[in-house]
Amino acid sequence: MRWCWPSGSLILIKPEHLTLHRYFLNASRNRSLFLAKLQENAIDHPHTRIHLDLWYGCLYVVIEGWRKERIIDPTTTALLRDKKRVDLLAGLRNATFHYHPEYVEPRAEALYGDPQFVEWINALHDAVSDFFLRETI
């Protein structure tokens, strides 16, 4: 249960958690890029939506791995019990990474129509982040 970053610093983490963390980094980076666009008031910039979709899609991959590895974390587990929102996120992931002939994808529009989704997704992202911060020594 040891691994070294290229910088040489040692961290202790279960190998399957480390692999999942790699996927989380993709989600986290796109979240940062999305939030940076919002800070710039660039809400209509095409990259804003791209980073949002990539953040959401990558975070769903983390959920898949989370479930496969049977990771238990009370906060994350509670958020993942919201089947409706997890299903909306799965639909967005599919709409983002699988071709669909319509430019405006109905699965994406369904997610964006949920007024509480933003609060939920941010709480989920933060809970997963907190988990990895606690797991890394």
The answer to which of 28-37, 39-48, 99-108, 124-133 has the lowest mean pLDDT is 99-108
| Bridge partners of residue 4, in order along the sequence | 10
Alpha-carbon distance 19 to 73, whole Å?
17
pTM score, whole prediction: 0.86
Average pLDDT, the chain: 89
pLDDT band at 7 (very low <50, low <70, confident <90, very high): low
Where along the chain do its domains lie?
14-135
Single-letter code of the amino acid located at 81:
R
**Burial zone of 86 (CB within 10 Å; 0-12 exposed, 13-18 middle, 19+ buried):** middle
Q: What is the pLDDT of residue 123?
A: 98
Evaluate if residue 112 carries a pLDDT over 90.
Answer: no
Q: What is the pLDDT of residue 12?
A: 64
pLDDT tens digits for 34-93? 999 999 999 999 999 999 999 999 999 999 999 999 999 999 999 999 999 999 999 999
- Are 2 and 10 in contact by the 8 Å Cβ rule? The answer is yes
Ramachandran region of residue 41, left (φ > 0), alpha (ψ -120 to 50) or beta? left
